Structure 1
């Protein structure tokens, strides 16, 4: 069953920061997905495009700048 919540993709290579962002967004009622690198983020975007992406620009592999392009 599809969710009616807005989906936010949090892309951050530092696990603690990613988890804090996800926790707070979920507490505010958002559906949250997380990725720790650019390659995983691109896969998630292809599988299920999020409504919003919170993106670190310095990531291992594909950078945040490249993801935006």
Structure 2
């Protein structure tokens, strides 16, 4: 069993794509439907890394990262920010909240796995 990666996205198809790529590379994906759900999941299952979307209901990506970083289970866990947006201000907000990686949708599996491998060391 590989390292657990928390995949946070309100789109079921995007979650499936990411999870499928991670599983094929030997990781163990765990899915959450939005930032609020991700906080609940992360509280029960400590992920090795998190991949989060920005635009989601209930709690967006930046809000999730801020809340996650304030919890003991969020300290030291790499967070990759995934968004269709390319705005520099949003990138800065994500970085200030605690994201260490950034990917733009659409993405390919190879690119995703390279980023995951890099943030996990």
Q: Which residue of 1 aligns with 2:53?
A: 56
Q: CA RMSD in A?
A: 0.9
How far apart in 1 are the matches of 2:31 and 2:43?
14
- Structure of larger gyration radius: 2
**1:2-46 residue CA offsets vs partner (Å, 9 max, x unmatched):** x5x211010011111110110010000001100111111000111
Relative to its length, the structure with more helix (as a share) is: 2
2:3 corresponds to which of 3, 6, 27:
6
Q: Which residue of 1 aligns with 2:18?
A: 21
Gaps of 5+ in 1: none
TM-score computed with the length of structure 2 as normaliser: 0.52
TM-score computed with the length of structure 1 as normaliser: 0.89
Higher relative contact order (Cα pairs below 8 Å, separated by 6+ residues): 1
**Structure 1: 4+ residue segments shifted above 6 A:** none
2:44 corresponds to which of 24, 43, 47:
47
- Helix, strand or coil for the counterpart of 1:40? helix
- Helix, strand or coil for the counterpart of 2:37? helix
Gaps of 5+ in 2: 67-121
